[in-house]
Amino acid sequence: MNPRKSYYPCFCTFIPPHILEHMAKASEEVVRESVREAARLSMMQDNQIRTNRANLPVDVATFAGPKPGIMAPPVGTAGREVFNCGHQWGQPPPYMLARGEGDPVTGDDAINATYDAGGAVRDYYKNKLGRNSIDNLGLNQVHNVHFGENYMNAFWDGSQMTYGDGDGMIFSSFTKDPDVIAHELTHGVTQYTAGLIYYGQSGALNESMSDVFGTVIQQAIEGTTADDADWLIGNGIMGPELFGEALRSMKAPGTAYDNYIIGKDPQPDHMTRYYYGASDNQGVHINSGIPNKVFYLVAMDIGTDKAALIWYATLQRLWPNALFGDFAFMVADSARLLTKNGQVPVGTTQTVRAALREVGL
């Protein structure tokens, strides 16, 4: 028996069963087939994740559990569990738990930064949006830091987060910027809500939702407002070689970077410049610039937290193969409903429509 396997309370599938059921009801046959295929492939990926975990090496120390004094939080308490991969290329076994919920500060900056940002994300979703962790059922947050050697990435694998340290030249640790951590955790929230398929327009909406809540939560952490926020994504992880650059700009998509190493920011800021190529799962990180700009424009008008309320309501009303047009309808309608409830100012529906029009939606 693999001890890590028994340690985890939830092995969520990449697309939960209720979403698969929703997909089966798609009206057009072509859409239905493509969605089914994507769902099938995602489930295969999820099976691969499970297989990888099942094949984790087991040694005697594994059975001893984490170091003395380091405790994993009880299941379903939205607790944080930060594991140290120790620069190995794999998910660490239980004894590499470096900081659990309520444990004291460690001597490792990446572990502490992840723990702090994870707490800020949990608190924002709970206190501002009424959501109990990633799945709204108190799922514990599992973070794996110091993944591999010079690994330049962070990702959500369907049940937990993994962060690399970067190469120290182009990128520093991906745990350094809270918007990265909030971005990855929001992929989990999207998985449990709209379930947006990570391909084409639904994938771009998935990415945009992560950028939106990444920047919203970063502003909450920094105490900034829409007016004085930088509206940049990933600027905090740029290493000395590219310091001053960022990975995305929500204010001005397409302007985040331009250099000889990683090239030029390809994000469009309007539907007339929409990317139709095959790269990046048909541009999930590229066309996300369009809905990102809509959020920026709305937040500048009504404030970031109120705009976040509208986007969170929208996220809960979208579905796996939603397109930009579906998003446009739902975000405007969510603004109308929240206006009716007095949660956003009168005139917000019109502000949202004007923002959509400004990007060609």
Partner 1 sequence: MQIDFASSGGFASIELAYRADTNTLLEEQAKELARLVESSGAFDLRQDDLTPNPKAAAGPPDVISYRLSLSEGARQNTLWFNDVTAPASLRPLLEFLRKLALEQKRKGG
Looking at 143, 146, 187, 285, which residue is catalytic? 285
**Smallest gap from residue 203 Cβ to partner 1 (A):** 7
Q: Does 194 participate in binding partner 1 (rule CB under 8 A)? A: no
- Bridging pattern class, strands 248-249 and 258-259: unpaired
Q: In the annotation, is 101 catalytic?
A: no
Q: Quick one: which of 10, 41, 323, 354 contacts partner 1 (CB under 8 A)?
A: 41
- In the three-class reduction of DSSP (H, G, I as helix; E, B as strand; rest coil), residue 307 is classed as helix
Q: Quick one: which of 178, 203, 291, 320 contacts partner 1 (CB under 8 A)?
A: 203
Q: Does 319 participate in binding partner 1 (rule CB under 8 A)? A: no
Q: Does 230 participate in binding partner 1 (rule CB under 8 A)? A: no
**Smallest gap from residue 201 Cβ to partner 1 (A):** 13
**Spacing of C-alpha 277 from chain mean position:** 23
Please, which residue, 95 or 171, has the CB nearer to partner 1? Answer: 171
Which amino acid makes up residue 207?
A: E
- Yes or no: say if 296 and 311 are a contact pair by the CB < 8 Å rule: no
Per-residue string for binding with partner 1, 6-35, x by CB under 8 A? Answer: --------x---------------------
Place of tokens 């959501």: 131
What separation, in Å, do the N-terminal and C-terminal C-alpha atoms of the chain show? 53
- Yes or no: say if 278 and 287 are a contact pair by the CB < 8 Å rule: no
Of 280-309, binders to partner 1 (CB under 8 A) are 280-281, 285-286
Please, which residue, 69 or 277, has the CB nearer to partner 1? Answer: 277
Which amino acid makes up residue 228?
A: D
Beta-carbon contacts of residue 40 (< 8 Å; ≥ 6 apart): none
Q: In the annotation, is 184 catalytic?
A: yes
Please, which residue, 79 or 200, has the CB nearer to partner 1? Answer: 200
Q: Does 276 participate in binding partner 1 (rule CB under 8 A)? A: no
Residues 187 and 192: their CA atoms lie apart, in Å, by: 9
Per-residue string for binding with partner 1, 86-105, x by CB under 8 A? Answer: --xxx---------------
Nearest to 313 by CA among 120, 57, 131, 151: 131
Q: Does 142 participate in binding partner 1 (rule CB under 8 A)? A: no
- C-beta pairs of 299-305 under 8 Å, 24+ apart in sequence: 299/226, 300/226, 300/227, 301/348, 301/351, 301/355, 302/344, 302/345, 302/348, 302/351, 303/225, 303/226, 304/215, 304/216, 304/219, 304/225, 304/226, 304/229, 305/128, 305/216, 305/220
Residues 264 and 272: their CA atoms lie apart, in Å, by: 19
Q: Does 53 participate in binding partner 1 (rule CB under 8 A)? A: no
**Smallest gap from residue 337 Cβ to partner 1 (A):** 28
Q: Quick one: which of 76, 119, 148, 303 contacts partner 1 (CB under 8 A)?
A: 148
Q: Does 38 participate in binding partner 1 (rule CB under 8 A)? A: yes
Q: Quick one: which of 183, 293, 306, 317 contacts partner 1 (CB under 8 A)?
A: 183
Q: Does 321 participate in binding partner 1 (rule CB under 8 A)? A: no
Beta-carbon contacts of residue 107 (< 8 Å; ≥ 6 apart): none
For 190, 195, 327, the CA distances from 338, given in Å and listed in that order, are 20, 23, 16
**Smallest gap from residue 90 Cβ to partner 1 (A):** 5
**Smallest gap from residue 238 Cβ to partner 1 (A):** 10
Q: Does 275 participate in binding partner 1 (rule CB under 8 A)? A: no
Please, which residue, 321 or 348, has the CB nearer to partner 1? Answer: 321
Looking at 81, 101, 184, 245, which residue is catalytic? 184
Buried b (16+ CB within 10 A) or exposed e, 93-124: bbbbbbbbbebeeeebebbbbbbbbbbbbbeb
Total number of residues that touch partner 1 (CB under 8 A)? 52
- Bridging pattern class, strands 248-249 and 232-233: antiparallel
Give the binding site for partner 1 (CB under 8 A): 14, 37-38, 41-42, 44-45, 48-49, 52, 88-90, 148-158, 162, 167, 170-171, 174, 180, 183-184, 187, 190, 197-199, 203, 206-207, 210, 234, 247, 260-263, 279-281, 285-286
Q: Residues with catalytic annotation?
A: 184, 285
